[in-house]
Amino acid sequence: MFVPTASGDSEDYWGDFQKAYGNGLGCQTRVLRLLNKEPSYEEMEQAVLSSDIVYVGGGNTLKMMRRWRKLRFDRILEEAYARGVVLCGISAGAM
């Protein structure tokens, strides 16, 4: 699953991710946007905990962390880590 919060939920970034991992490597991909809509805690939890890998894109770290804390998404990532979901990313997403 791709989380593009730090890039402002960029549609282009999602497209590039899909091309590389979905089309290029044959992975089943999805995106979780957290800025322009506010999914419920349960929706976010289900999306993350049903994923093998959560890849967080780069961009504005402070904006991303503020949004995640507001939505309690950071807590979901902690649970995912405890359950063995691979958490990875680039730039802001690697932090």
- Cβ partners under 8 Å of residue 74, min gap 6: 65, 68
Q: What is the CATH number of the domain that holds 70?
A: 3.40.50.880
List, for residues 2-61, the tens digit of each pLDDT value: 999 999 999 999 999 999 999 999 999 999 999 988 899 999 999 999 999 999 999 999
Domain holding 62, by residue range, is 2-94
pLDDT at position 95: 86
Residue 85 Ramachandran class (φ > 0 left, ψ -120 to 50 alpha, else beta):
beta
- For the chain, what is the domain count? 1
Burial 9-38 (b: 16+ CB within 10 A, else e): bbeebbeebbeebeeeeeeebebbbbbeee
**pTM of the predicted model, to two decimals?**
0.92
pLDDT at position 17: 95
